Amino acid sequence: MGTVAAQGLCKSFGKVQALDGVTLDVPDGSFFVVLGPSGAGKTTTLRAIAGLEKLDSGSVHLDGRDATGDAPAARDLAMVFQSYALYPRHTVYENIASPLRARRRSSSEIAAAIEQMSSLLHIERLLQRRPAQLSGGEMQRVALARALVRSPRAFLMDEPLTNLDLKLRVEMRTELTRIHRSLGATFVYVTNDQVEALSMADQVAVLKEGKVQQVGTPTEVYERPANQWVAGFVGSPPISLLACRAEGDCLVGAGGWTLPRPRWTTAEDGRALMLGLRAEDLSVEQRGDASLSGELYGLEPLGDRTVVDVLVGTEILKVKARPTVTGAPGERLLVTVDLDRAHLFDAGTGLSLSEAGR
């Protein structure tokens, strides 16, 4: 149905470089998530693909055809806006009908399409209301219906779930995944919520300051972050990063600790490194051959688990533990490290050194 390819997108607003050579390749039928913090250029990327933003340089190909200069209407894409952008003077019915009216479909065709769409999204009883009479969740469904009512090349979604409360967001996540499966259409989905990205995506592109940091499956991005920044951005609680250098068979930390050097690193002696340790690869309850000693700094009980903050030297490690764990601040602790799952980054460039040896 539709492939979307963006090649070297550049766009600046005054002095701010919003997009700095963004290249994305969205395969047909995939759920492609663009993930990044606010101000990373996610929305601008989406608007550039939609044709709403004039590019300084770069090209957009749709289904392999160059569509860079095309008007939005000619691109055959549908978009869900973060603000929903429902037409305030029109009823829900007319809002959803708008893309079909633009294509001069007959009113019986429109009625049939809207009926089908409203039962898919459970908005049958809202059709005669105006946007001002809808709740946030209902507006979101209507915005989705307006996009889904025709079969475009691809669907562009700009943080569609951000303005919903948590419960609704979780529901809609499942719902969107279901809709994506049943349509088999291409979705380009922008979000700053890593949970959305990891749970829904076939492919994730991580964006920072207008540059693509990494593209891969959710597992790849989580398990093998391309650089220190991606490692820090993806994952909750965030990965703990410790400054260190390689010396012989050991990693020597800036805080004075030593760990056995992981077998897979190829870093030469003396090189400044950052050791990245995810909370679930650390333990205060089990014993292993590699460990760090520190003192208890604080506990964050989260219900199903407790995050233990451990002060090692001057740096804090976040450790995942069972919810039953207890302790007083200042207490000495031994943190066991699963070195096979640790990440090493070059302290200067931030690039991952883990890939080569694995």
Partner 1 sequence: MAVSVDEAVSTGPAPDHTPAARRLGGRGRSGLEVALLIVLAVVMLFPVLWMIETSIKDNRDVYAIPAKFFGFNVTMDHFRDVFVAPGGGRSALSVAFLNSVVVAGVSTLLATVLGVPAAWAYSRFSVRAKKDQLFFILSTRFMPPVVVVVPIFLMYRQVGLIDSKIGLILIYAAFNVPFTIWMMKGFVDEVPAEYEDAAMLDGYTRLQAFWRYTLPLLVPGIAATAVFALIFSWNEFVFAIFLTSSDDVRTAPPAIAGLIGGTTTDWGLVAAASVVFALPVLVFAYLVRKHLVAGVTLGAVRR
Binding site for partner 1 (CB under 8 A): 47, 50-52, 71-73, 77-79, 81, 83, 85-89, 98-99, 102-103, 146, 156
Interatomic CA distance for residues 122 and 134, integer angstroms: 13
CB closer to partner 1 out of 154 and 353: 154
Residue 100 beta carbon to partner 1: minimum distance, rounded to whole angstroms? 9
Residue 299 beta carbon to partner 1: minimum distance, rounded to whole angstroms? 44
Q: Taking the CA atoms of the chain, what radius of gyration do you get in angstroms?
A: 24
Interatomic CA distance for residues 100 and 17, integer angstroms: 37
Within 10 A of 303 (CB to CB), how many other CB atoms are there? Answer: 6
CB closer to partner 1 out of 150 and 211: 150
Task: For residue 252, list its beta bridge partners.
Answer: 245, 258
CB closer to partner 1 out of 77 and 344: 77
Residue 112 beta carbon to partner 1: minimum distance, rounded to whole angstroms? 18
Residue 214 beta carbon to partner 1: minimum distance, rounded to whole angstroms? 29
CB closer to partner 1 out of 24 and 79: 79
Interatomic CA distance for residues 285 and 200, integer angstroms: 33
Q: Which of 136, 146, 207 is nearest to 172 (CA)?
A: 136
Residue 160 beta carbon to partner 1: minimum distance, rounded to whole angstroms? 13
Alpha helices, H only, the chain: 42-50, 72-75, 92-102, 107-120, 136-148, 166-183, 194-200, 218-223, 228-233, 354-357
Two tokens at 264? 């897979």
Residue 204 beta carbon to partner 1: minimum distance, rounded to whole angstroms? 24
Helix (H/G/I), strand (E/B), else coil: 88 = coil
CB closer to partner 1 out of 55 and 86: 86
Helix (H/G/I), strand (E/B), else coil: 144 = helix
CB closer to partner 1 out of 150 and 173: 150
